[in-house]
């Protein structure tokens, strides 16, 4: 009986050790689980936009330019005993690009968006381009431990709604002018990278394609950095 008890104890220790080892290579990516197996998840990302490649005279304010993304459903598949996870999802992405200062504004005329000086009667001027997209992220995540992983991939965007928004005060009246059909690119592709730390990640997203179509407005591209949950 004594030998049997010792043997069972040793076996239990081995099993416990194996269990711990398996758990340590689990991919922990945060998000809200949508099923019991945790294969389907919902994710949120919040970041700042830093437009790049803008022509002279078009300056943006990164800390007044924001991006919010909601991945409504993402399927995350990890093969058995693997540290690699394949992720594909669908969601929405909201971005805005705000001009710096308060003396210039986006303005659409003759079907072209340009940057002009504000009227002297305007005060507290804020001018931005906003886009709303249906997004399809496709990522490969490599886990190095339970609390650290790296993801690389791309995101396809269908930009179905965009506008120019000018907000200012004039003669003590608040004026908000919105202009639609600004010549945005309907389809864009982003390159996306993430560093995962437990239940959250930091991300960098860059689009090599201009936000607006050629000859429809200032030629600038989208770069965003932020947090992913």
Does some domain include residue 157? yes
**SS3 at position 50:** coil
Give CA–CA dist 229/93, Å, rounded. Answer: 15
Does some domain include residue 17? no
Does some domain include residue 56? yes
Does some domain include residue 1? no
Convert the pLDDT of each residue in 12-49 to its tens digit. 444 444 444 434 444 457 899 999 988 999 999 999 99
Residue 42, strand partner residues: 32
Residues 6 or more apart in contact with residue 221 via CB below 8 angstroms: 51, 52, 53, 206, 207, 208, 209, 210, 211
Structural domain of residue 141, as residue ranges? 27-228
Does some domain include residue 86? yes
Going residue by residue through the chain (229 aa), what tens digit of pLDDT does each one get? 443 344 444 444 444 444 444 344 444 578 999 999 889 999 999 999 999 999 998 999 989 999 999 999 999 999 999 999 999 999 999 999 999 999 999 999 999 999 999 988 888 899 999 999 999 999 999 999 989 999 999 999 999 999 999 999 988 899 999 999 999 999 999 999 999 999 999 999 999 999 999 999 999 999 999 999 9
With contact defined as beta carbons under 8 Å apart, do 199 and 209 qualify?
A: no
CATH number at residue 160: 2.40.160.20
Q: Pick from 155, 129, 161, 145: which is nearest to 60 by CA?
A: 129
Does some domain include residue 5? no
Does some domain include residue 48? yes
Residues 6 or more apart in contact with residue 60 via CB below 8 angstroms: 49, 50, 51, 54, 97, 98, 99, 100, 220
Domain count, the chain: 1
Convert the pLDDT of each residue in 177-187 to its tens digit. 999 999 999 99
């Amino acid at each position: 009986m004594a030998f049997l008890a010792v043997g069972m104890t040793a076996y239990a220790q081995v099993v416990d050790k194996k269990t711990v080892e398996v758990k340590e290579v689990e991919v922990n990516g945060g998000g809200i689980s949508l099923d019991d197996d945790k294969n389907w998840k919902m994710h949120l990302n919040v970041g700042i936009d830093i437009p790049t490649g803008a022509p002279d005279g078009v300056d943006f304010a990164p800390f007044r330019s924001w991006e919010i993304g909601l991945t409504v459903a993402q399927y995350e598949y990890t093969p058995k005993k693997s540290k690699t996870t394949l992720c594909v999802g669908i969601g929405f992405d909201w971005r805005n690009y705000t001009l710096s200062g308060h003396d210039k504004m986006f303005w659409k005329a003759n079907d072209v968006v340009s940057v002009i000086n504000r009227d002297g009667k305007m005060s507290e001027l804020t001018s931005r381009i906003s886009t709303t997209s249906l997004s399809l992220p496709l990522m490969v995540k490599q886990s190095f431990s339970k609390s650290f992983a790296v993801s690389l991939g791309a995101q396809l965007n269908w930009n179905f709604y965009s506008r120019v928004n000018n907000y200012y005060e004039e003669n003590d009246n608040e004026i908000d002018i919105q202009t639609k059909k600004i010549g945005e690119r309907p389809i864009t592709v982003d390159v996306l990278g993430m560093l995962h730390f437990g239940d959250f990640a930091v991300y960098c997203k860059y689009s090599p394609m201009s936000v607006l179509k050629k000859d429809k407005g200032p030629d600038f591209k989208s770069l965003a950095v932020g947090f992913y949950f």
